Amino acid sequence: MESDPVGSDPVGSDPAESDPDESMSGSRSGAEVLPAGPIDWGHLSVLRDECVAGLQPRSGGCYLDATLGAGGHTAALLAADPEVRVVGLDCDDRALAIAQERLAPWGARVTFVRSNFAQFNPGDQQFDGILADLGVSSMQFDQPDRGFSFRHDGPLDMRMDDRLTESAADVVNHWQEVPLANAIYTYGEERLSRRIARAIVEQRQTQPFQTTLELANAIARCVPGKYRHGRIHPATRTFQALRIVVNQELAVLETLLDRAPNWLAPQGRLAVISFHSLEDRIVKHRLRESTQLKVITKKPICPSDTEMGQNSRSRSAKLRIAEKI
């Protein structure tokens, strides 16, 4: 058992630029074969090989996967060398349960910790590499009862960690119109934020929002026809904003990027995959401004056409890597 003393629960151990980047060197691969089980984990790890190449797992090294999810990146790190160990964090207990099952073949080489990465405290432990693959997983996104997506109807929740007190329904039903509009504008980069916030406030007076489809339909009704039939659903940006607000995604990312350099051993690497420009801007600047890190990726690494074809979620991914000086 591994316990994060600050605000986390031990889960148990054991069982907007986009050019391809400079090349990586010195990576290992494939010392073990990834166990191929009958289970469909429903989540393809984005830029998996590029992360392993960038982190350069070394025999005997210990790595922190700050966003364990279904454990795909961790599995690849463990497979890179039989002496690699990984501490895997996730704030979502359902994700951890799936990762524990998937990673069981690696036994005590993986330690599972339930924690928000912003509250993680490794004590004196130093890592040879740290990975953060930001945002929600496809598993979370595709589960209607998590409320992240308007592709299915479900409770308007959006909490990655069910210990958080404010859900998306709380935000849309209780925030005042101006802060709501500001959040939709800032975190969704939605130019119709004021119109959408007004429509939300008006509709909730008759009937508070309970489900994803109620909200998505209300947004679709309040925007001009041209917008309604555009490239993306008119609720997409508002849903992104709400998710960021509920999980404080940008604030926790900033905390992680401030603290992670202290958790790295010399020459240890920090690899971060972001999925939208708000995240990528923070990653790019924090890595560049850190006095403890040297940026390895002058430009972010992006998925190949093949990966984008196989996994549409990877399309907006950007991987940036820095090394502890």
Q: Using CB under 6 A as the criterion, which residues of the chain lie in contact with ligand SAM when the complex forms? A: 43, 45, 67, 69-73, 89-92, 95, 116-118, 133, 135-137, 160, 252
Q: 100: annotated binding-site residue?
A: no
CB nearer ligand SAM, residue 43 or residue 234: 43
Q: 275: annotated binding-site residue?
A: no
Contact 271, 319 (CB under 8 A): yes
CB nearer ligand SAM, residue 57 or residue 71: 71
Residue type, 201: V
Smallest separation (angstroms) from ligand SAM to the CB of 285 = 19
CB nearer ligand SAM, residue 102 or residue 197: 102
First vs last Cα of the chain: how many Å apart? 31
CB nearer ligand SAM, residue 110 or residue 196: 110
Q: 54: annotated binding-site residue?
A: no
3-state secondary structure of 247: helix
Smallest separation (angstroms) from ligand SAM to the CB of 68 = 6
Q: 310: annotated binding-site residue?
A: no
What's the gap between Cα 201 and its chain centre? 30
CB nearer ligand SAM, residue 111 or residue 193: 111
Smallest separation (angstroms) from ligand SAM to the CB of 305 = 21
Smallest separation (angstroms) from ligand SAM to the CB of 29 = 16
Structure-token pair, residue 319: 């991987």
Sign of CA dihedral 195, 225, 208, 163: negative
Nearest in space to 209 (alpha carbons), one of 248, 136, 153? 153
Q: 37: annotated binding-site residue?
A: no
Using left for φ > 0, alpha for ψ between -120 and 50, and beta otherwise, residue 84 falls in beta
Q: 73: annotated binding-site residue?
A: yes
- Closest residue (Cβ) to ligand SAM? 69
Q: How far is CA 296 from CA 133, 256, 282, in A?
A: 17, 18, 16
Per DSSP, what are the bridge partners of residue 320? 272
User: How many residues belong to the chain?
Assistant: 325
Q: Which residues are annotated as a binding site for S-adenosyl-L-methionine?
A: 71-73, 90, 117, 133, 140
